[in-house]
Amino acid sequence: MNKKSKLIKPNYWKQACAELSKKDLVMAKIIQSFRNETLKSRKDPFYSINRAIIGQQISVKASDSIWGKYVEALKELKPQTVRKARSSTLRSCGLSSQKIKYVKNIGKHFSGEMSRFSYWEKMNDRDVEETLIDLNGVGKWTIEMFLIFCLMRPDIFPVADIGLQRSIANHYNHGKRMSEKQIENLACSWKPWRTVATWYLWRALDPVPVCY
């Protein structure tokens, strides 16, 4: 496995928490419950995109389990080790045939400058999306996870995320599911810090911080 990377916190976190807490009393309570915790990034694009692909359409618990086996099997999480890994090895970690194709495709495309944080850091959100969307296996949700967990962009709101929807229902609507339109309307007051609000809503749902 790779040597553990230093985790970086967003420089806007304290300001965002203060402004969200002032606007929204429910959010203020959630933030207070986890006041010593923050989003953190490894600034490792290849790590984040792999993590997001493995996390597609499965629970956080299942994703964590598969991820642990995946990085252990690879020894080093690098584009070349993913490309060279046997499909049978990746399948034994819990990856579906489709996700095996996806991670190998990512290993191919991230083998050059795309694996460097500086390549992505200079792009705006739209440029990041346009660069990633054509890669097989990368859709809107995966891009949103990349923008949040790798690039730490402050105002990303993955409205279709099931965990986010569930947490919003629990905290804002007595456990009853809300439509995406209702959720988007609710989240308007969280701008320009919807990433921070999303992270705390995830944190309130899961026993450990979500990380991609």
Task: Provide the angle, in degrees to the nearest 10, between the axes of the packed helices 45-54 and 140-149.
Answer: 140
130 has pLDDT over 50:
yes
Domain ranges of the chain: 13-39+156-205, 45-149
208 has pLDDT over 80:
no
4 has pLDDT over 60:
no
> Which pLDDT score, from 0 to 100, does residue 97 have?
96
Cα distance between residue 91 and residue 101, in whole Å = 11
- What are 205's two structure tokens? 């749902």
- Cα–Cα distances in Å, from 159 out to 2, 96, 97, 185? 32, 25, 27, 11
What pTM was computed for the model? 0.94
- What are 55's two structure tokens? 């996390």
pLDDT tens, residue by residue, 26-59: 999 999 999 989 999 999 999 999 999 999 998 8
Cα distance between residue 11 and residue 14, in whole Å = 8
CATH of domain 45-149: 1.10.340.30
CATH of domain 13-39+156-205: 1.10.1670.40
71 has pLDDT over 60:
yes
